[in-house]
Amino acid sequence: MKLSLCTITFRHQLISFAQIVRFAHRHHFDGIELWGTHAQHLYDHDRLEMEEQVRLVRDQGMSISMLSDYLDIATSTGFQRTLEKAKRLISLAKWLHVKQIRTFAGQKASKEVRQEERARYVHHLQILCKMCQEHGIQLLVETHPNTLTDSMSSTLALLQEVNHPALKVNLDFLHVWESGADPIDAYEQLRPWVAHYHLKNISSSNHLPVFAPHNVYAPNGDREGMVLLGEGAVDYGPILEKIADTDYFASIEWFGQSPQRVLAEEVEWLRKAMMVRA
């Protein structure tokens, strides 16, 4: 398993991509998961410097592990805008030599999606998957609350409904645990589609709302309950035993304070934990 950090961790800090690259290399990360907003800004304003940094990433044995963004598959009238955004993301992915784009499967809880809505979501995902496949890119849906992948039953059904080889899963173990599923059982069931992992933890289920997007993206949002991977309610010991030998990236997804200190501690803890289980 390869370890990456997320540039979204630094969404509220004044830090350059070059500084993130140096930090990642210094702490022996294997890659960097790049937020789509950051990628677009760098392309529009610092293209030459970004290309130099991407070369440096590759020269140092790292890679851009995934481009993470949000494609609206729920829209009934504005899907053309989604297609235009998808084209931009694919262009960015090719520019960055990235083979994976992450999105969410809608923005509504699966139980609240009517049958005709779900059919529209599936159709839109099929179109997006075809676009990605034409460029050698995988489209990853993340296991996440208030989407069509907020439960194991809905996630498995969606994968079968879309039925496209370019559709994969970004497995967020905390959100799977949040759904009430056992993370190990979920991994085993989703294994044929899993292509990336997200790792984060929480002190207790009482604090799970801190990961709601509107809170995460707010500069003054609540951060109570966000804890280190080895100190939270999700037991990562058995999870690492299952995934340590897989050939995928696992991104440490930290949204709390002191990101550089925490990421340095987390990557060291993960390396040691995987060595123990080797």
- Spans of all domains in the chain: 2-255
pLDDT score for 53: 85
Q: What is the mean pLDDT of residues 46-54?
A: 85
Q: What is the mean pLDDT of residues 239-258?
A: 95
pLDDT score for 221: 92
List residues bridging with 2 in a β-sheet. 249
pLDDT score for 275: 80
Rg of the chain over Cα atoms, rounded to whole angstroms, equals 18
pLDDT at residue 276 is higher than 80: no
pLDDT score for 277: 60
Q: Which CATH superfamily is domain 2-255 in?
A: Divalent-metal-dependent TIM barrel enzymes (3.20.20.150)
List residues bridging with 197 in a β-sheet. 171, 250
Among 4-18, 39-53, 162-176, 255-269, the minimum mean pLDDT is found in 39-53
pLDDT at residue 214 is higher than 80: yes
pLDDT at residue 158 is higher than 80: yes
| Residue position matching structure tokens 């990433």 | 57
Give pLDDT tens digits for 56-108: 899 889 999 999 999 999 988 889 999 999 999 999 999 999 999 999 999 99
Catalytic residue at 144?
yes
Rounded to two decimals, the pTM is: 0.96
Give pLDDT tens digits for 59-69: 889 999 999 99
CB 170 within 8 A of CB 195: yes
The mean of the pLDDT values for the chain is 95
pLDDT score for 207: 96
Structure tokens at 272: 């040691």
pLDDT score for 51: 87
pLDDT at residue 278 is higher than 60: no
Give pLDDT tens digits for 113-157: 999 999 999 999 999 999 999 999 999 999 999 999 999 999 999
Where is 182: in which H helix or E strand? none
Q: What is the mean pLDDT of residues 161-190?
A: 98
CB 167 within 8 A of CB 141: yes
Q: Which of 38, 124, 144, 175 is catalytic?
A: 144
